[in-house]
Amino acid sequence: MISILRSIWLTFLHIFHKRETVEYPEVKPYLAPRYRGRIVLTRDPDRNERCVACYLCAAVCPVDCISLQAATGEKGRRHPEFFRINFSRCIFCGFCEEACPTNAIQLIPDFEMGEYIRQNLVYEKEHLLISGEGKYHGYNFYKHAGVAMGVKGKGEGDTEYKPVDVKDLMP
Amino acid sequence: MNYLWIILGVIFIALSIAAGLIWVERRLLSVWQDRLGPNRVGPFGLAQVIADTLKLFFKEDWVPPFSDKVVFTIAPGILMVTILLTFAVIPFGPEFCVFDSNIGVLFFLGNSSLGVYSIVLGGWASNNKYSLIGAMRASAQMLTYEVFMGLSLMGVVMMADTFSFSEIVEAQRGGWFILPQFLGFVVFFIAGIAETHRLPFDIPEAEGELIAGYHSEYSGMKFGMFFVGEYLGITLISAIIATMFFGGWLGPSFLPPVFWFLLKTFIFIGVFILLRASLPRPRYDQLMKLGWKLLFPIALLNLLVTGAILIFL
Ligand code: SF4
Ligand code: SF4
């Protein structure tokens, strides 16, 4: 009985509390940098596409909304010929970002992507590709490891050892 | 001619309050939940009422093929008619009353009993198990609470020595009946919540367990009638509380009596909404237990003591 009256009174006191509502179009909410919103494809510091068309993101995507096709450029470097994300199916889980070995695909804090025509939610590579590096600065996949692709010589990567001559006995 | 204006005025006030309550309730609830509520459409979101009403009018009015169509159609109307009829006997001010009946209190009690039919028939005609369960709960709940809803008003009737609402108001010139009839007020208030099946006693609807209870199958303006009927019910109970226990239109004379009446009514509407914001829904058997084992004896006791005092003092 007392507790009922008490809860009525406490609810009444909420008149004097601060409003929690964010009046959205006028006041933008703060979104953390790691917020999982619209997906972008980024470039490395040399302004080359980071994506190497390895299909890992397409494979991990739980709703199969990524579609891409690999192509090989001159010097043998791979890049996606087309890269398509269907945002009407994407659930913004961020798995693609986790799977990507080159930090190419990234989710950014932008959620204002409503459309009147559903077809407009299918983003092609020209919509996805940005000219910057996104959240991870100064990272160039080819500088670290992997085959010589014109970025670095064999065994000259940041975290790479010189190749060992396996036929030599000297240390 | 004068009569016509009073009738139109009462209907206009009742219906516009009931429609406006859609907005008032949402705003007040949001105040108590630290939100802002609808504030986009028009000044303070007031045009939300128009938007909601228009939306209800343009919704598809679907009569389920498996239902009893005639009964299904008239059931929401019964609710509106019984409640609107009761507004006829309530004095909004001196001389501002459609029909100053000398059995006003009985008329109100009778009409609120008739309101049960609307819900029972609606739930029955829907031919849906959730509707039927809701309707059964509603009939049991409303019959239970009607018993001592009437009894709790009898104390006031005995003190004022009349069944007429306007004479009851006149009898409160010396002091409001809330003081001598406090127990009656508490019992009537709780019974009023149960009568209008408002939260926390919205057991016939109980969307957590029964989808929407007796109006699960209703859509469009038929649902709208149940919806507005509920708000009309709140307004009615608040108006009756103001009339029976808080001196009706009596008040300092620098403002017109109608204003005092509406002010008191609105305060109780606010309390109704506050209850919705703060209390959880009890279980069905708890509600029945509360009614029969606590409120009913209190109402009888109140009646007994009032009668004894009136006879022996
Ligand atoms: S965020 Fe999830 S659903 Fe969206 S594209 Fe990436 S893996 Fe697929
Ligand atoms: S975005 Fe990343 S994971 Fe997807 S294909 Fe390109 S490099 Fe592979």
With a CB cutoff of 8 Å and minimum separation 6, the contacts of A59 are A99
Residue A105 lies in a domain: yes
Q: What would the pLDDT profile of A97-127 be if each residue is shown by its tens digit?
A: 999 988 899 999 988 888 899 999 999 999 9
* Alpha-helical segments (H) within chain B: 2-32, 48-58, 69-87, 104-125, 129-160, 165-171, 182-195, 207-210, 220-245, 257-278, 284-289, 296-312
pLDDT value at A20 more than 90: no
Flag whether A16 is in a domain.
no
Q: Which residue has the higher pLDDT, A75 or A46?
A: A46
pLDDT number for residue B84: 86
Neighbours of B108 (CB within 10 A): 30
Percent of chain B with pLDDT strictly greater than 70: 100
**Which residue of chain A is at minimal alpha-carbon distance from B280?**
A4
If 0-12 CB within 10 Å is exposed, 13-18 middle and 19+ buried, where does residue A159 land? exposed
Backbone angles phi, psi at A86, to 5 degrees: -90, 100
Separation of CA B71 and ligand 2 centre (Å): 63
Between residues A97 and B88, which one has the greater pLDDT? A97
Ligand 1 atom 6: the closest Cα is on which residue? A96
pLDDT at A146 over 70: no
- Number of independent structural domains in chain A: 1
Residue B102 pLDDT exceeds 90? no
How many CA atoms lie less than 13 Å away from B39 in the CB half-sphere? 12
> Could you say which of B34, B275, B277 has the minimum Cβ distance to residue A17?
B34
| Residue B276 to residue B308: CA distance in whole angstroms | 37
- Say whether residue B211 is in contact with chain A using an 8 A CB cutoff: no
Structure-token pair, residue B299: 């109402």
A1 within some domain = no
Which atom of ligand 2 lies closest to the CA of A68? 5
Taking the C-alpha atoms of residue A137 and residue B56, their distance in angstroms, rounded to an integer, is 54
- Would you list the domain boundaries of chain B? 60-312
pLDDT at A145 over 80: no
Question: Does residue A95's CB lie within 6 angstroms of at least one atom of ligand 1?
Answer: yes
User: From B270, which residue of chain A is nearest by alpha-carbon distance?
Assistant: A12
* pLDDT (mean) for A146-158: 72
Question: How confident is residue A85, by pLDDT bands cut at 50, 70 and 90?
Answer: very high
Determine the pLDDT at residue A64: 92
ipTM, two decimals, is: 0.75
Q: Flag whether A38 is in a domain.
A: yes
Average pLDDT over residues B54-62: 85
Token pair listed for B159: 């003190």
For the stretch A21-53, pLDDT in tens is 888 888 888 889 889 999 999 998 888 888 889
In the prediction, which pLDDT does A122 show?
Answer: 92
Identify the domain containing residue A46 by its residue range.
Answer: 32-142
Confirm or reject contact between B51 and chain A (CB < 8 A).
no
Binding site membership of A61 for ligand 2 (Cβ less than 6 Å): no
Which tens digit of pLDDT belongs to each residue from B157-208? 888 888 888 888 888 887 787 878 888 888 888 888 888 888 788 887 877 7
CATH code, A80: 3.30.70.3270
Distance A119 CA to ligand 1 centre (A): 18
Residue type present at position A166: V
Residue A23 lies in a domain: no
Closest approach of chain B CAs to the CA of A26, in angstroms? 12
Q: Is residue A167 part of a domain?
A: no
Question: Pick the residue with more confidence: A60 or A144?
Answer: A60
Q: A103 CA to middle of ligand 1, Å?
A: 14
Average pLDDT, chain B: 84
Answer yes or no: are the C-beta atoms of A39 and A96 closer than 8 Å.
Answer: yes
- A91 Cα nearest atom in ligand 1: 3
